[in-house]
Amino acid sequence: MASPSALWLWAVALLPAFCAALRLGHLGPPGPLPLVIWHGMGDSCCNPLSMGAIKKMVEKKIPGIYVLSLEIGKTLIEDVENSFFLNVNSQVTMACQILAKDPKLQQGYNAMGFSQGGQFLRAVAQRCPSPPMINLISIGGQHQGVFGLPRCPGESSHICDLIRKTLNAGAYNKAVQERLVQAEYWHDPIKEDMYRNHSIFLADINQERGVSESYKKNLMALKKFVMVKFLNDSIVDPVDSEDRLGLREMDKAGQLVFLALEGDHLQLSEEWFYAHIIPFLE
């Protein structure tokens, strides 16, 4: 039988490993995987009628979950403005920096993007594999772009009028591409060459100007890529996306999930959300 002094020395020797395991969360039952949310055009991270409500719905069904709703800017007003006027590549870089610095996300997280936030989070998955994104849920995302006049309700409607005029005047103009978010995923099928040559965001993440093996590898590392489309969508046109990123391979492997529901853009009920989205977050 070991002496008391030997047992004491053994306990002291194991203390650093115990503390390290505790810091990394290896002891005790694991908590729910954190969730990162990215809002859509004309919205903000914390609007109580949109992303704030989504956050509460998730927290209600998954007690103890950490939910980070991305704020791109120093204020809520700046967050809304940036959804229209801050270069998407800069937004993605900012998001990657926020995620990399958050200690609660380092073991992995799920992501849920609404409308344009869906393709922005896909860019995060492709460009920034650390910390690892586990599941990506895109609700009403436009992964092959839009070719139609964006409509947004309420106080942002006057901004949308300006966007319509600007896109009609020249979506692929360099200055427009660098300063208007919606131009960066504008996909004009009549001007395919102009799109591929001048789209500074969507053509890149869709591998339409060249092939980045890391983009494909990082996207295929997702456990599930869930895409939700609205059958009566009056904002996004077209509603279907083409396969340009190895999605068929992911589909064969059971990594892709396609969901469709009746209704206009981002119109979903609490009951539908609980039944179809929450299971991917638990």
- pTM for the full predicted model: 0.83
- 233 catalytic residue (yes or no): yes
**Token pair listed for 171:** 């979506």
Catalytic-role residue among 39, 143, 198, 265? 265
Nearest alpha carbon to residue 72 among 105, 113, 103, 104: 113
- The domain over range 31-146+211-280 is classified in CATH as 3.40.50.1820: yes
Catalytic-role residue among 115, 138, 156, 199? 115
- Please list, in sequence order, all residues whose beta carbon lies within 8 angstroms of the beta carbon of residue 270, skipping any fewer than 6 positions away: 57
- 115 catalytic residue (yes or no): yes
User: Using the 8-state DSSP alphabet, how is residue 33 labeled?
Assistant: P
Query: Which amino acid would we find at residue 167?
Result: L
Catalytic-role residue among 43, 79, 204, 233? 233
CA dihedral (130, 136, 141, 145) positive or negative: positive
- Apex 85 CA angle, 47 and 97, nearest 5: 70
Reading the chain (282 residues) residue by residue, the pLDDT tens digits are 455 454 444 444 444 554 554 454 455 567 899 999 999 999 999 999 999 999 999 999 999 999 999 999 999 999 999 999 999 999 999 999 999 999 999 999 999 999 999 999 999 999 999 999 999 999 989 898 888 755 555 555 677 777 877 887 799 999 999 999 999 999 988 899 999 999 999 999 999 988 899 999 999 999 999 999 877 555 544 444 556 688 888 989 999 998 988 765 556 789 999 999 999 999
